[in-house]
């Protein structure tokens, strides 16, 4: 969970800084948002690759754990039902 919050915070920070720099150079409105989104996406792709990998493994681990809990609950539920033969 921590890696997800850190990655999201870093992405947001890069976006805000990029938008601020673009605003200083005179970009306004939709153009500002579009350029900030594109530039911050490229910058974060390069700078945050290690953090993105850690976040990805945390998400995958959480999904596996959730799937296992779901399968256990289904197995438990199926065992509690009388069989209709």
- Report whether pLDDT(27) > 70: yes
pLDDT in tens, 65-79: 777 777 777 777 666
Domain count, the chain: 1
Q: Does residue 45 contact residue 14 with C-beta atoms inside 8 Å?
A: no
Taking a C-beta distance cutoff of 8 angstroms, is the pair 58, 3 a contact? yes
pLDDT at 43 over 60: yes
Q: How confident is the model at residue 83 (pLDDT cuts 50, 70, 90)?
A: low
d(CA 37, CA 66): 32
| Residue 81 domain-assigned (yes or no) | no
Q: Residues with Cβ < 8 Å from 1, sequence gap 6 or more? A: 58
| pTM of the shown model | 0.70
pLDDT band at 35 (very low <50, low <70, confident <90, very high): very high
Q: Is residue 18 part of a domain?
A: yes
83 part of a folded domain? no
- Report yes or no on 45 lying in a domain: yes
Q: 3-class DSSP state for residue 1? A: coil
Q: Which domain holds residue 27?
A: 2-76
Q: What is the DSSP letter of 85?
A: -
Identify whether 9 is part of a domain.
yes
């Amino acid at each position: 969970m921590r890696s997800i919050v850190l990655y999201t915070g870093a992405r947001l920070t890069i976006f805000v800084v990029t938008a601020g720099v673009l605003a200083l150079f005179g970009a306004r409105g939709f153009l500002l948002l579009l350029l900030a989104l594109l530039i911050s996406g490229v910058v974060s792709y390069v700078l945050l690759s290690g953090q993105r990998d850690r976040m990805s493994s945390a998400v995958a681990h959480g999904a596996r754990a959730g799937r296992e809990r779901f399968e256990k609950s289904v197995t438990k539920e199926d065992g509690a039902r009388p069989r209709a033969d």
